[in-house]
Amino acid sequence: MRILFVGDSMTIGAAGDHTWRHRMWQHLTRTLPDGAFRVVGPRTALHEDSHAYADTAFPAEARAHLAGWGEGWLHMAPLIRETVATHRPDTLLVSLGLIDLGFYTSPEQTLGNVELFLAEARAANPTLRAVLLPVLPNVRAATDAAFAADCARFNTLLAKAVAELSEPRSPLLLASAPAGWSPERDTYDGTHPSAAGEHRIAAAFADALHQAWAVGGPYEGAPSQEPSRTASRG
């Protein structure tokens, strides 16, 4: 299995972060046989080209991704065909949409970019499979009713699209959003995941892979054993 992580600032992470990509790599390393998976992608750095991951033992070859600070479906759709053709992933783990809705596109426009992204990815690999995470509203949704409604509307559209666009040779899964996602507990600044949030995002993808495709096993991360990052460290 060749995995490509695709995402925005919540996925790329910043200096001092573990990232949920790291948590997912740890999970798959624990639950899959040696050599059963490989992480691929054109980028390896954190935000601002930092390589200061919280865990210095995170192997360089496992840091690969296609994620960017301030980048959403709008930005990734034009990149995904070449990325899939070059790096040959067979499984995408995608967490996108918050930045699109917050700054660039309406729910319907964002869905159009989702559909373009999937079409472009499948043009490079018609048997590609993907797990998509719903948008996890950030602290803005607590005070901006229109933005909260856009997040909810997009997640409804995304669920319908995943069901309609999934194919036997190229299956799509909608991961379940972490129950009770809380910007206060699960982020360090209202948006970007804390240790608890990293584990909860990784668990959402791990559970989808395990339950639908028998990949790996139950997620066993323990965020309570680690200190949460604080906004001042960013």
CA–CA gap between residue 56 and residue 186 (Å, rounded): 23
Q: Which residues of the chain have pLDDT under 50?
A: 224-225, 228, 230-234
**Distance between alpha carbon 105 and the CA centroid of its chain, in Å?**
19
Extract the tokens encoding 120: 């472009």
Other C-beta atoms lying within 10 Å of the C-beta of residue 106: 13
User: What is the pTM (predicted TM-score) of this model?
Assistant: 0.95
pLDDT value of position 33: 96
What is the number of domains present in the chain? 1
Instruction: Phi first, then psi: give them for residue 106, nearest 5 degrees.
Output: -75, 170
Note whether 185 and 224 are within 8 A (CB).
Answer: no
Other C-beta atoms lying within 10 Å of the C-beta of residue 113: 21
Q: Give the residues across from 78 on adjacent strands.
A: none
Note whether 85 and 24 are within 8 A (CB).
Answer: no
Extract the tokens encoding 181: 């996602």
pLDDT value of position 221: 77
Q: Which domain holds residue 138?
A: 2-233
pLDDT value of position 223: 56
pLDDT value of position 231: 45
The per-residue pLDDT for range 215-227, each reduced to its tens digit, is 999 999 765 445 5
CA–CA gap between residue 194 and residue 188 (Å, rounded): 5
Note whether 122 and 83 are within 8 A (CB).
Answer: no
CATH code of the domain covering residue 107: 3.40.50.1110
The per-residue pLDDT for range 163-182, each reduced to its tens digit, is 999 999 999 999 999 999 99
